[in-house]
Structure 1
Amino acid sequence: MKATRLAIPDVVLFEPKVFGDDRGFFFESFNQHQFEEATGRKVNFVQDNHSRSAKGVLRGLHYQLAPHAQGKLIRVVQGEVFDVAVDIRKSSPTFGQWVGVHLSETNKQQLWIPEGFAHGFLTLSEHVEFLYKTTNYYAPAAEGCIAWNDPTLSINWPLSMQPILSEKDKLGRQLKEAEVFE
């Protein structure tokens, strides 16, 4: 499995080695040892989540505060998304910066987003099946949401239409007003 640190080095893109022929394909989607070597961290995943979204849905930018902060290992098993991680750690030299990647059933890549980041994605195909592992359990009282279109972040979403947002995401706060990590 190839691991690449992105412009924000704590965020890692994983690309599995895929073995395919006329019968289909096989790849190792997770290997604890390789993950720990690539991230430099020993991580215990405690929850797996699965979502399905229609084209044009934008979810995020979501996060959970300590002590319920979540690291996420994300992949797409059907369709394609533009996936974004925003550093919301005030003490980080990359605070307020973002990275974005295309994840799809075709490229089979996965994105590691550690604790201290807000996360969001935009669906680019008719339907998307999205899977992710988390390092902590969902805790609604610790949840935060930053506005997907915060002008200080200037995320370059590949929009072809007005995104479809949940009521929660419509109420996302600007980064300068949000409760974030120290």
Structure 2
Amino acid sequence: MQARRLSIPDSFEFTPRVFPDHRGLFAAPFQEEAFIEAVGHPLRLAQTNHSFSRRGTIRGVHFADTPPGQAKYVYCPRGSLLDVIVDLRVGSPNFGEWTSVVLDSVQYKSVYLAEGLGHAFVALEDETVMAYICSEPYNPAGEHGINPLDPDLALPWPRDIEPVLSEKDTDAPGFQEALDKGLLPHYDECVAHYEKLRAQG
């Protein structure tokens, strides 16, 4: 498995080998040894999530209070999607910036985003499935969102796709409003949390 640091610190792309044959194919989207070598600590498994989306569905931008936050390891076992990671950590050198990776059921790439980073994606085709491992269970009181169509973020949604959003994501605050309300994680607290995870690992 190949690991690559993305432009947003504390996020990574993982590309496994894919083994096709006359029956179909085999791939291992998550491999612990490669993950620890890249990130510096094991990935705690607290919950696995699965979504099924029609073309144009946008989910996010979602993030959690840190600590403990919620790290995510994401891959696409069916269809294709554009995965977007946003640096929402106040005080980060990359604050407000984003990066994106196409995930699909051809290459079986995965992305990892550490606690404190924002996550969103858009389904590029019908019947797209996204699966992800979460380091912490769902915590409604600590979960937040930013409207993914906020022009201040200018996320790279394809222009040829009509966006489909949930009411919750549509009604989420914009980036500046979330900052003004003190909802966003702080970079120093996130870094301290990462260092604690590496020490424990």
Does TM-score exceed 0.5, indicating one fold? yes
> 1:14-51 CA distances to partner (integer Å, 9 max, x unpaired)?
00011222222222222212101111233312111111
SS of the aligned residue for 1:141 comes to helix
SS of the aligned residue for 1:77 comes to strand
Tell me the equivalent position of 1:41: 41
Whole-Å separation in 2 of the counterparts to 1:18 and 1:126: 23
Larger helix fraction of residues: 2
Whole-Å separation in 2 of the counterparts to 1:124 and 1:64: 26
Whole-Å separation in 2 of the counterparts to 1:43 and 1:53: 26
> 1:81-121 CA distances to partner (integer Å, 9 max, x unpaired)?
11101011112111110001111111210010111111111
Tell me the equivalent position of 1:144: 144
Tell me by how many angstroms 1:130 deviates. Answer: 0.9
- Within-5 A mapping of 1:1-16: 1-16=1-16
Tell me the equivalent position of 1:181: 185
Tell me by how many angstroms 1:143 deviates. Answer: 1.1
Name the stretch that deviates more: 26-35 or 93-102: 26-35
Tell me by how many angstroms 1:68 deviates. Answer: 4.3
Name the stretch that deviates more: 153-162 or 169-178: 153-162
The verdict on how the C-alpha distance between 1:134 and 1:164 changes in structure 2, with shifts beyond 3 A counting, is: same
8 Å CA contact retained: 2:8, 2:86: no
- Within-5 A mapping of 1:1-182: 1-178=1-178, 179-182=183-186
8 Å CA contact retained: 1:61, 1:148: yes
Sequence identity percentage: 38
8 Å CA contact retained: 1:60, 1:147: yes
Q: Normalized against structure 2, the TM-score is what?
A: 0.86
8 Å CA contact retained: 1:57, 1:123: yes
8 Å CA contact retained: 2:29, 2:75: no
Aligned residue pairs, count: 182
